[in-house]
Amino acid sequence: MERFDVVVVGAGSGLNIVDSAARHGFKVALVEEGPMGGTCLNRGCIPSKMLIHSADVAEAVRSAGKFGIKTGRFSVDFGRIVSGVSSLVDRDARDIEEGILEDRNITLFRARGRFVGKKQLKVGSHVITGERFFVLAGTRPMIPGIPGLEGSGFITSDGALRLKRLPKSLTIIGGGYIAAELAHFFGALGSRVTIIQREELLVPNEDREVAEAFTDAFRKRYSVLLGYSAESVSRKGNIFSVTASHGKLKRTLKSEQLLVAVGRVPNSDLLDVAAGGIKVNERGYIITDDYLETSVKGVWAAGDIAGKYLFKHSANLESQYAYGNALNQSSKVKVDYYAMPHAIFSSPQVAGVGAREQDLKKGSYGVGKYMYSGTGMGAALKDTGSFVKILVEKGANKILGCHIIGPDASTLIHEVVVAMRCGSGAIGSITGAVHVHPALSEVVQRAANNVSFK
């Protein structure tokens, strides 16, 4: 059995721990079947947002007419778009691996590991152990048990980012943020998109008012079946057929490609964490305490596999806490998740932080809402449906949450995040700040100035 000071499973946010441990002079084992960089770099946020930017550009060109600009016809070189992003991502993954191999303090085990005992991991022909274990092995796309789906040739978000040809038509099963982003990507570039969503709204985890506005916007562009469940899948030649039902209503949808985006599942089963004595919850996510230590002393879990927040930025935050707590067990620090933001890079964009209105007790809060169109830049954008919504605690004037739908929502939300997490947290942090006129950020300030209590 090979012994290490630190064992890290997963080369996504786990690389933060690998780098810190190696710089401290520890003997480090990194277990990753590859490629380096994890889901975010290879199959998630980095390639998807690069690809989505092309969709944003295509959408801007198509809408140029409303600004008095004639563009004529244009075409999309889909293969070039995808190959360019894939080449960049693959190069970054190779560069990371080369850096790891050059570090004498790091041993890379380029294979999937499985626990065979407490703090014992079998990797290929090796069994390794360590004083400190960190499990950051992420999640993978969930595959529902729909009859006919298996073996049909459907794609998940993994394959969608590597397609070589733009499908003329695409059916998406699922209506969360991954489905929303990929619908925008394919739809803006020219695919005819149909979304099958079993819930009554798209992106149902958002503030309800935002989810309603988002659903309305998507229904104007795509065929959206709300309250429908996919019952069966078949394929004849190059055409998929999906039968979906809503009560007694049934629809059969045909398309060149089928994308399944119904959520993600943790990779704890692939690691056989139970054999290592590591407990999981009913959904398979590793159970940790407030300091990210698992049921096995000396083993920490962080990132998506721990199931707190499934964001890259939260995984990075957790990796810092996990490593710090492992090194300083006499002065451990609870993870501070306060004001954890998120964003959906679709069109329209969505971003949020803190409480949603449906989470709050009636009468305990006020709402400040302002439409983009009421600002100079919003008017310049000819935007009619976007808004900022701020929720404020009654009496204390403390910001409870903020939700934005519209252009640059993913950027605008940060003013509120900083006010909540690093400032006083009071609404005055925003209303009292001087905002550039006529920058789009004025819409945040005006929403803050518009708070009313019922």
Q: Quick one: average pLDDT of 314-331?
A: 97
Instruction: Give me the percent of the chain exceeding a pLDDT of 90.
Output: 98
Question: Is the distance from CB of 134 to CB of 326 less than 8 angstroms?
Answer: yes
The whole-number pLDDT of residue 262 equals 97
CA distance 444 to 263: 31
Q: Is the pLDDT of residue 76 over 90?
A: yes
CA distance 190 to 180: 15
Beta bridge pairs of residue 351: 343, 404
Q: How confident is the model at residue 42 (pLDDT cuts 50, 70, 90)?
A: very high
Per-residue model confidence as pLDDT tens digits over 94-126: 999 999 999 999 999 999 999 999 999 999 999
Q: First vs last Cα of the chain: how many Å apart? A: 66
CA distance 167 to 165: 6
DSSP code for 440: T
Q: Is the pLDDT of residue 201 over 90?
A: yes
368 to 69, 74, 110, 308: CA distances (angstroms) = 35, 41, 52, 29
CA distance 190 to 196: 19
Q: How confident is the model at residue 74 (pLDDT cuts 50, 70, 90)?
A: confident
- CATH (residue range 157-262): 3.50.50.60
Q: How confident is the model at residue 454 (pLDDT cuts 50, 70, 90)?
A: confident
The answer to whether domain 2-141+265-331 and domain 157-262 are alike in fold is yes
CA distance 42 to 86: 8
Active site residues: 437
Q: Is the pLDDT of residue 72 over 90?
A: no
Beta bridge pairs of residue 230: 244
Q: How confident is the model at residue 52 (pLDDT cuts 50, 70, 90)?
A: very high
Q: Is the pLDDT of residue 206 over 90?
A: yes
Per-residue model confidence as pLDDT tens digits over 117-150: 999 999 999 999 999 999 999 999 999 999 999 9
Per-residue model confidence as pLDDT tens digits over 271-307: 999 999 999 999 999 999 999 999 999 999 999 999 9
Q: Is the pLDDT of residue 177 over 90?
A: yes
> pLDDT averaged over the chain?
97
Q: Is the pLDDT of residue 34 over 90?
A: no
Q: Quick one: average pLDDT of 421-430?
A: 95
Q: Which CATH number fits domain 341-453: 3.10.28.10, 3.40.50.720, 3.30.390.30, 3.40.30.10?
A: 3.30.390.30
Q: How confident is the model at residue 73 (pLDDT cuts 50, 70, 90)?
A: confident
Q: How confident is the model at residue 332 (pLDDT cuts 50, 70, 90)?
A: very high
Fold of the domain spanning 2-141+265-331: FAD/NAD(P)-binding domain (3.50.50)
Per-residue model confidence as pLDDT tens digits over 344-358: 999 999 999 999 999
Q: Quick one: average pLDDT of 41-69?
A: 95
Q: How confident is the model at residue 415 (pLDDT cuts 50, 70, 90)?
A: very high
| Entry pTM | 0.96
CA distance 422 to 336: 12
Domain ranges of the chain: 2-141+265-331, 157-262, 341-453
CA distance 245 to 251: 6
